[in-house]
Amino acid sequence: MGSRDMIEIKNVSKVYKVGEIETRALNGVSFNISEGDFVAIMGPSGSGKSTLMHILGALDTPTSGTYTLNGKDVSNLNDDELADIRSEKIGFVFQAFNLLPRTTVFRNTMLPLMYSGIDEETREKKTEEALLSVGLEKELWQNHSNEISGGQKQRVAIARALVNNPTIILADEPTGNLDTKTGQLVLNTFKKLNREKGHTVILITHEDEVARHANRIISIRDGKIEGDKIVKV
């Protein structure tokens, strides 16, 4: 478990309005996540977990309440400030991989660095380190992403999330498009990154079996925290 609070969510609510109709997706949610934690946020469809993921990922802001990341209140930042946090602090891994199909594994992984002004030699070194850290075989690096398996695609997606050395890996249903065996390999990759590299991992899932790979499970239902338990240390 981590030693200091990295994330503080305090009384966060999110209300969506369409005309006169209001939908309360989150209702007074509060919790902290420490540096180096591996946390699963689990809930059924419509529970509010996706809305919470968007707030944690600086993709959206709360209607009320505060979100503090590394001591900085990000609740009311503008779009440019939120974009800076996403590019510098958070690595995203999605269920659908979101890779460019006719682009090589190596270049897909490098993409986040190509807009950062980093020189080519450093970009290549960081890309190699990221691919090695997720255990992807070197002979696959020059394959196009549409020429590799689903599990390999997800490991490329994880490498891409790591390439900027973010403090947080935010994974949204990362095993949703994978069979059980391949999903296990991907989850083991997250465990390794958490234990050996110290990355803070936040896993969004509706599956109890997936959530149990984390060290802590925060359960959400109807926009409220239903449970918060330590699974293992």
* pLDDT (tens digit per residue) in 34-78: 999 999 999 999 999 999 999 999 999 999 999 999 999 998 889
Dist. CA 166–CA 100, nearest whole Å = 21
Q: For the domain that residue 127 is a member of, what is the CATH number?
A: 3.40.50.300
Is the model's pLDDT at 99 over the cut of 90?
A: yes
pLDDT band for position 1 (cuts 50, 70, 90): very low
Q: How far is CA 140 from CA 57, 135, 146, 152, 180, in A?
A: 30, 11, 11, 9, 22
The secondary structure element, H or E, covering residue 8 is strand 5-18
Is it the case that residue 125 has pLDDT exceeding 90? yes
Question: What does pTM read for this prediction?
Answer: 0.91
Query: Which band of pLDDT confidence, cut at 50, 70 and 90, is reported for residue 233?
Result: low
Which strands, in side-by-side order, build the sheet including 224-230? 90-94, 168-172, 200-205, 38-42, 216-221, 224-230
| Mean pLDDT, rounded, for 111-125 | 88
* Total tally of structural domains belonging to the chain: 1
- What are the beta bridge partners of residue 218? 41, 228
Q: Which domain holds residue 62?
A: 5-230
Residue 136 and residue 159: Cα distance in Å, rounded?
Answer: 9
Q: Is the pLDDT of residue 92 over 50?
A: yes
What value does the mean pLDDT take over residues 160-189? 92
